[in-house]
Chains A and B, each alone.
Chain A
Amino acid sequence: MAMMMPPRMNPSDSASGPKQHQSWSPYDNNGGTCVAIAGSDYCVLAADTRMSTGFSILTRDYSKIFQISDQCALASSGFQADIRALQKNLDARHQTYQHQHNKQMSCPAMAQLLSNTLYYKRFFPYYAFNVLGGLDDQGKGCVYSYDAVGSYERVGYAAQGSGMQLIIPVLDNQLKSASPLVLPKRESATPLSESEAVDLVKDTFASAAERDIYTGDGVEIIVINAQGVQKHYMELKKD
């Protein structure tokens, strides 16, 4: 009986089927960290500029921040090809919205759109860890933090990516507000000024670059406020 079977298959591993090569993975992690802080009338978004794969650095100068509208920007870390496709997807949807409604999408509306876009690929996800930041309809800073399949929450500050665990406790220490259960209801936006928030972000990235191998080279910071969008850049350690 055994001799009649094709040579590759043995009765002993009929359960597993024919021998397989080690398969390739459709995902890769290109590393990096993203942070955002919401203020009373501004929003700060920052991401490092390193792109890596495995233990190699591919480039030191890659932007993870994407400006979707005048008042809304997306910072994402994870698998760069999925992130790029996600950015193009959102951009196309935003352009359609502008044609249909003759105005730009508000940040909360974009937040919901991003969530739906991510969940649409629930069973083959975008490997993207996103932080969306901008100004809401009242002109106050807003930050939304996502997981890979679209569950999201509006928060006063957020971090995602390889340096997330290193940075979040520091932001908690500086920015955490009272519990949402406390009455009267408090603002989720931080009382810090814009320049203090930018300095805090620079400090946290410098610390993360020390201890996280995937974070480094440089940090790109954008500030969205009533005057528009301003960009800053700070060098980080290259090791």
Chain B
Amino acid sequence: MSITSYNGSALVAMLGKNCFAIASDRRLGVNFQTIATDYQRIFEIHEKLYIGLSGLGTDVQTLYQRLKFRHKLYQLREERNMRPETFASLVSAMLYEKRFGPYFCEPIIAGLSEDNVPFICTTDLIGAKQYSSDFVVSGTASESLYGACESMYKPDLEPDDLFEVIAQALISSVDRDCISGWGGIVHIVTPDQVITKTLRGRMD
């Protein structure tokens, strides 16, 4: 089995009206054996910036720890939080540092700028950034996610509607991928609050 599909993962982020949503599955496996059904792939960097990491579990954790460290240093030096675009560049640079021995991770960065303009971005495992004005996907179920998001997405959705769309897209896609699933978790981030919901889907 390929190293990027060893643990299995599915991640998606979508832009809404003055908000964004980021969702992931909850399975962690070793090849076809499921080990954990509550694995965390989406991490908060600061209250308006989230990063989701798909791919090899150990790299997910290591990268998150390294990024958390870098952001804390940034906060100490700059006395403010990082802007999403800046953070995306940081992720890209850190991944490219390991160009010839990469982290087997494909991150999704999602955040709100200071003026609360939502931002999403994804990079490949060696740091090639891809901005988007609608949605980004990552993980072993990415092809299915592309199809589902392309069909279901509409621009400028309110937070409740955005939740529905991203939840349906995620669940439909992971149900066709045997190494991702076991439910889902969705974070909807608006300027005032963060709503986190867990999804119940096929538990297999």
Question: In the complex the two chains form, is B151's CB within 8 Å of A165's CB?
Answer: no
Interface 1/0 per residue, A177-215 and B, CB below 8 Å: 000000000000000000000000001100110110000
> Is B195 interfacial (CB-CB < 8 Å)?
no
- The winner among B143, B147, B150, B176 for most chain A CB atoms within 10 A is B147
Which one of A168, A172, A173, A211 contacts B150 once the chains associate, using CB atoms below 8 Å? Answer: A211
B113, chain A: closest CB distance, angstroms = 27
Question: In the complex the two chains form, is A172's CB within 8 Å of B147's CB?
Answer: no
Contact partners of A208 in chain B: CB under 8 A:
147, 150
Contact partners of B169 in chain A: CB under 8 A:
169
Question: In the complex the two chains form, is A169's CB within 8 Å of B150's CB?
Answer: no
> Is A150 interfacial (CB-CB < 8 Å)?
no
Chain B, interface size category, equals 10 to 19
- The winner among A168, A169, A172, A203 for most chain B CB atoms within 10 A is A169
Question: In the complex the two chains form, is B144's CB within 8 Å of A166's CB?
Answer: yes
Question: In the complex the two chains form, is B175's CB within 8 Å of A170's CB?
Answer: no
> Is A167 interfacial (CB-CB < 8 Å)?
yes
Query: Which label, helix, strand, loop or mixed, suits the secondary structure of the B interface?
Result: helix
A161, chain B: closest CB distance, angstroms = 12
In the complex, A210→B143 CA distance in Å?
12
Given contacts A203-B151, A204-B151, A211-B150, contact A166 B143 (CB under 8 A): yes
Question: In the complex the two chains form, is A173's CB within 8 Å of B146's CB?
Answer: no
> Is A163 interfacial (CB-CB < 8 Å)?
yes
In the complex, A210→B176 CA distance in Å?
20
A208, chain B: closest CB distance, angstroms = 6
Chain A, interface size category, equals 10 to 19
Contact partners of A169 in chain B: CB under 8 A:
144-145, 147-148, 169, 172-173, 175-176
> Is B73 interfacial (CB-CB < 8 Å)?
no
B146, chain A: closest CB distance, angstroms = 5
Question: In the complex the two chains form, is A207's CB within 8 Å of B172's CB?
Answer: no
Which one of A172, A210, A211 contacts B172 once the chains associate, using CB atoms below 8 Å? Answer: A172
Q: Taking CB as reference atom, which chain B residue is nearest A168?
A: B176
Given contacts A203-B151, A204-B151, contact A168 B144 (CB under 8 A): yes
Contact partners of B172 in chain A: CB under 8 A:
169-170, 172-173
Question: In the complex the two chains form, is A165's CB within 8 Å of B168's CB?
Answer: no
Q: Which A148-173 residues have C-beta < 8 A from chain B?
A: 163, 165-170, 172-173
Contact partners of B176 in chain A: CB under 8 A:
165, 168-169, 172
A33, chain B: closest CB distance, angstroms = 10
Contact partners of A207 in chain B: CB under 8 A:
147, 150-151
Q: Taking CB as reference atom, which chain A residue is nearest B171?
A: A173
B130, chain A: closest CB distance, angstroms = 13
B176, chain A: closest CB distance, angstroms = 5
Question: In the complex the two chains form, is A173's CB within 8 Å of B147's CB?
Answer: no
A31, chain B: closest CB distance, angstroms = 15
> Is B152 interfacial (CB-CB < 8 Å)?
yes
In the complex, A167→B143 CA distance in Å?
9
- The winner among A167, A173, A210 for most chain B CB atoms within 10 A is A173
Q: Taking CB as reference atom, which chain B residue is nearest A171?
A: B172
Contact partners of A170 in chain B: CB under 8 A:
147-148, 151-152, 172
A123, chain B: closest CB distance, angstroms = 27
Which one of B147, B152, B173, B175 contacts A211 once the chains associate, using CB atoms below 8 Å? Answer: B147
A158, chain B: closest CB distance, angstroms = 13
Which one of B147, B152, B168, B173 contacts A163 once the chains associate, using CB atoms below 8 Å? Answer: B147
Which one of B143, B145, B175 contacts A172 once the chains associate, using CB atoms below 8 Å? Answer: B175
Q: Which B135-167 residues have C-beta < 8 A from chain A?
A: 143-148, 150-152
Closest 3 CB pairs of A and B: A166-B147, A207-B150, A165-B143
Q: Identify 19 new A-B residue pairs, CB closer than 8 A, beyond the known A172-B172, A204-B147, A207-B147.
A: A165-B143, A165-B147, A166-B144, A167-B147, A168-B147, A168-B176, A169-B144, A169-B148, A169-B172, A170-B148, A170-B151, A170-B172, A173-B148, A173-B152, A173-B168, A203-B151, A204-B151, A208-B150, A211-B147
